[in-house]
A and B are shown apart, each in its own frame.
Chain A
Amino acid sequence: MAKTILEFEKPVVELEEKLAEMRKVSGNFDLTDEIKLLEDKVIKLKESIYKGLTRWQRVQLARHPERPYSLDYIYLMTQDFIELHGDRLFKDDKAVVGGFARIDDYKVMIIGQQKGRDTKSNIYRNFGMPNPEGYRKALRLMKLAEKFNRPVITLLDTPGAYPGLEAEERGQAEAIARNLLEMSQLKVPIIVVIIGEGASGGALGMGVGDRILMLENTWYSVISPESCSSILWRSWDYKEQAAEALKLTSSDLLDLKIIDRIIPEPLGGAHKNHEEAAIMLKKALTEELSQLIKIKPDKLVETRIEKFGKMGAYVE
C-alpha cells in the first residue's frame, strides 16, 4: 500500500529522505557529523510541528490510515487473546472485535471497534461503523466478563454508528442506550480508551467506564467536524472551524474533565511506530488496572455513576 503522507508531515518526510540518502552514501565518505546534524534537525522539526498542530490536523492524525487499530494493539500488548464472536441474537458484527486476553498478569476482556486497512478489509469491517449487533456483541462480552470477574477494556475507534436502514430496523438507538445503562451497572472495572476517532454515540455506546483515557492524537465529540460544518454552516467547507469550535482533542477533553488521562504517542503519531505506541498504551492500562481491581464492585458502580454525573456545565 502506498504510504499516506499528510500535508503537514511533508517537510519531515523530505528531511528523512535526505537523511536516508546520506546514510546510503556514508560508506564512501565520512558524513557522521552531517548526519548527526540532520538527525537533530529532524527531531527539532518534528517537535515543533507536532506541538503546534491545529485541531483539524489532529483529526487527520486520528484518521491516519497507517495508525494502529484495535487488533494491532491487542496483538502487540496482550497474550493468549481468544477472539469471541456474535451477539447471540442476530449475527457477528465485524466492526467490533473482542475476547479474553492477558495483559501481563491481568486476565481481561478486551473489546475494540475495528477499522480495515484497505478497501477490501474496510468493507469487511464496515469502515469501523458498528450496527446494533456490534453493540449487543460488546454487551454480551461485558456480561461474560462480569460473570467471571474480569476487568473490561474497550478501545474506541469509529467514524460513527452505522447510519443504515437495517441498523434502524434493528434498533441502533436502543442498542446504544442499553449499553449506556448496562455499562453503568457493570460490577467489574471498565477502562475506556479512545485510540482513534471517537465519533458521538457510536463511540459512547461502548464508552461508559471507570477510567476514560485518550491517546494523544485522537478526537472525541458529539459530531464529526464535517457533519457539524454541514449542519451549522450549511456547507462542508467549514470543517476546520468546526473542529476548532467543538474542542475535540485529547487536551481539550482533559480540560473539560471528561477524560482522566492522555496517553502520549511516539513523536509524529502512533502510525510512526506501532510497537512503541502499544507499549505506552499497555503501561497506562496496567497502571489503571492495578488501582481499579482493589475497589469493591458496589463502590465501583457508585463512583462510576457519580463520575458521569459531574460532567456538564450550567448556571443556576
Chain B
Amino acid sequence: MAWFRRTKENISPETQKKDLPDGLWEKCPECGEILHKKQIESNFWTCTKCSYHFRIGADEYIRLILDEGSFKEMNKKMKSADPLGFVDTKRYSDRIEQTIKNTGLFDAVKTGTGTINKTEVAFGCMDFKFIGGSMGSVVGEKLARLADKAAKSRIPLIIVSASGGARMMEGALSLMQMAKTSARLSVLDREGIPYISIMTDPTTGGTTASYAMLGDINIAEPKALIGFAGPRVIKQTIGRDLPEGFQKSEFLLDHGFVDKVVHRKDMKHTISQLLELMT
C-alpha cells in the first residue's frame, strides 16, 4: 500500500496521454515527434526529425522502389489451403479469411514484374500486416515462381523482406519453403542473374535463414531488427542482457552480413545504381 494515493481522477497521468485525434497524426515511436500522416508519407514514411522508419506494407514499397504504374502482379489470388487443418486458439482457416478481409491482401507477399528507372526487374515484397509476414506455402510458392520468372526472362530479382519467420500453422510445409526458395535462388546464382535482398524491420527466423540472407547484395533499412532467433529467446537462453543495438541493421553491417544500410529515401537510387553496375 502506498503512502499517498491519488483520488482525484483529473490529475491521473492517463488523462494527459490521450491518443491524438482523428488518426491523422502519428507520434514517432523513436523520438516522440508528432507528425502529420501526409508529412510522414512525403518523407518516404520516415520521421522528419530522427529518420525513424515506420513499418509500411507491400504497396508502399512498390510505390517507393518501382517506376510509377509499372508493377504487374503475378499469382495475386493464391491462397493458403490450411493443409494441416490447424487449430490453436482459433482455426487457421478462419484466421486466414479474417486477415484477407482486414488487410485486402491474400497472403504475406506480393510478387510481379516492374521497372526501376526503366530497367525491368522481378519484384517481390512481403507485408508484415499479414500474420506477421509469416512464410507459409503461398509465400514460398510465389517467391519460387518469381525466381523462375527472373531466370526465364533473365532479369534481376529483388525481394523486400518483412517477416517474423516461417508460419507455424503450416508446420513442416512452412519449413520446406525455406529449402524451396533457396533451391530456386541457387539456379539464379548458377545462371549469373543478380539477386538483391532488402531486409526491413523485422526480418527474422526462417525468412532470414533462407532467401533474405542469400542476396548477391544484402541491403538493410536503418535500425531494422534482423536475426535468426528472436531477442527474447536469446536473452532467456544466455541469461544476460543483450548489448545495445544487438541484431540491428548496423550490427549486421559491422559483422559482415549486410553490404549496406540504406535510408528509404535512397533505396530506389541505390538499387538502380547497383543494377547499372552489375548488369
Q: Is the CB of A173 within 8 A of B208?
A: yes
Residue in A176, A182, A220, A314 whose beta carbon sits within 8 Å of that of B228 in the complex: A176
- B274 cross-chain contacts in A, Cβ below 8 A: none
- Is A247 among interface residues, defined by CB-CB distance under 8 A? yes
Chain A residue numbers with a CB within 8 Å of B84 are 245-247
- The contact string, 1 if C-beta is below 8 Å from chain A, for chain B 6-30, is 0000000000000000000000000
* A312 proximal to B (CB < 8 A): yes
B189 at interface by CB-CB < 8 Å: yes
Q: Is the CB of A184 within 8 A of B183?
A: yes
Q: Which residues in chain B, 202-257, are within 8 Å of chain A measured between CB atoms? A: 205-206, 208-214, 227-230, 233-234, 237-238, 242-243, 246-247, 255-257
Least CB separation from B171: chain A residue? A246
Q: Which chain B residues border A180 with CB–CB below 8 Å? A: 178-179, 182-183, 209-210
The yes or no answer to A114 lying at the interface (CB within 8 A) is no
Smallest Cβ-Cβ distance to A160: which chain B residue: B229
Whether the Cβ atoms of A312 and B186 lie closer than 8 Å is no
For B187, what are the chain A residues with a Cβ–Cβ distance below 8 Å?
Answer: 305
CB pair A245–B86 under 8 Å, yes or no, is yes
- Is the Cβ of B206 less than 8 Å from the Cβ of A222? yes
The yes or no answer to B108 lying at the interface (CB within 8 A) is no
* Contact string against B for A residues 165-184, beta-carbon threshold 8 Å, 1 for contact and 0 otherwise: 10111111110111011101
Q: Do A208 and B179 have beta carbons less than 8 Å apart? A: yes
* A contact residues around B140 at 8 Å (CB): 312
A52 close to chain B: CB less than 8 A = no
Q: Is A258 an interface residue (CB 8 A)?
A: yes
* Cα of A167 to Cα of B231 in the assembled complex, Å: 12
Is A228 in contact with chain B by the CB < 8 A criterion? yes
When the two chains form their complex, are residues B171 and A304 in contact, meaning their CB atoms are under 8 A apart?
no
| Distance from A147 Cβ to chain B, minimum over Cβ atoms (Å) | 18
**Cβ B173 vs Cβ A311 within 8 A:** yes
| Cβ–Cβ contact A231 & B168, under 8 A | yes
Which chain A residue shows the least CB distance to B243?
A: A165
Report chain B residues within 8 Å CB of A246. Answer: 84, 86, 168, 171-172
Main secondary structure of the interface of B (DSSP, over half): helix
Q: 0/1 per residue, B169-188, Cβ < 8 Å to A? A: 11111111111101111110
* Chain A proximity of B240: nearest CB distance (Å): 8
Shortest Cβ distance from residue B232 to the other chain A in the assembled complex, whole angstroms: 10
Question: Which A residues are CB-close (under 8 A) to B172?
Answer: 220-222, 246-248, 252-253, 256, 258
Number of interface residues of A (CB under 8 A): 56
In the complex, the answer to whether B175 meets A201 with C-beta atoms within 8 Å is: yes
Instruction: For A203, give the chain B residue with the smallest CB separation.
Output: B175
Q: Is the CB of A168 within 8 A of B234?
A: yes
Q: Write out the residue numbers on chain B whose beta carbons fall within 8 Å of the beta carbon of A208.
A: 179, 182-183
A41-54 vs B, Cβ < 8 Å mask (1 yes, 0 no): 00000000000000
Nearest CB in chain B: distance from A9 CB, A:
27
A223 interface residue, CB < 8 Å from B?
yes
B228:A161 contact, CB within 8 angstroms? yes
Which of B88, B174, B182, B234 is A245 in contact with, Cβ under 8 Å? B88
Among listed B43-51, B62-70, B71-79, B116-124, interface-contacting one: B71-79
Cβ contacts A284-316/B at 8 Å (1 or 0 each): 000000000000000000001100110111111
The answer to whether A168 touches B183 (Cβ under 8 A) is no
Contact of B137 with A by CB under 8 A: yes
The verdict on A232 contacting chain B, using a C-beta distance below 8 Å, is yes
Q: A251-293 CB contact bits vs B (8 Å, 1 = yes)?
A: 0110010100000000000000000000000000000000000
Query: Which 6 A-B pairs have CB atoms at the shortest separation, nearest pair first?
Result: A163-B229, A312-B137, A180-B182, A313-B83, A173-B208, A184-B183
Q: Which residues of A contact B (CB under 8 A)?
A: 161-165, 167-174, 176-178, 180-182, 184-185, 200-201, 204-205, 207-208, 220-223, 228, 231-233, 238, 241-242, 245-248, 252-253, 256, 258, 304-305, 308-309, 311-316
Enumerate chain B interface residues (CB-CB to A < 8 A): 75, 77-84, 86-89, 136-138, 140-141, 144, 166-180, 182-187, 189-190, 205-206, 208-214, 227-230, 233-234, 237-238, 242-243, 246-247, 255-257
**What are 29 A-B contacts defined by CB distance under 8 Å?**
A162-B237, A164-B229, A164-B237, A168-B246, A180-B178, A182-B186, A184-B182, A201-B175, A204-B175, A208-B183, A221-B175, A222-B166, A222-B167, A222-B174, A233-B89, A242-B88, A246-B171, A256-B171, A258-B173, A308-B176, A311-B176, A311-B179, A312-B176, A313-B81, A313-B82, A313-B170, A314-B80, A315-B79, A316-B77
* A176-B228, A181-B182 known, 13 other contacts, Cβ within 8 Å: A167-B229, A173-B213, A176-B209, A181-B186, A204-B175, A208-B183, A232-B88, A246-B171, A256-B83, A305-B183, A312-B180, A313-B80, A315-B80
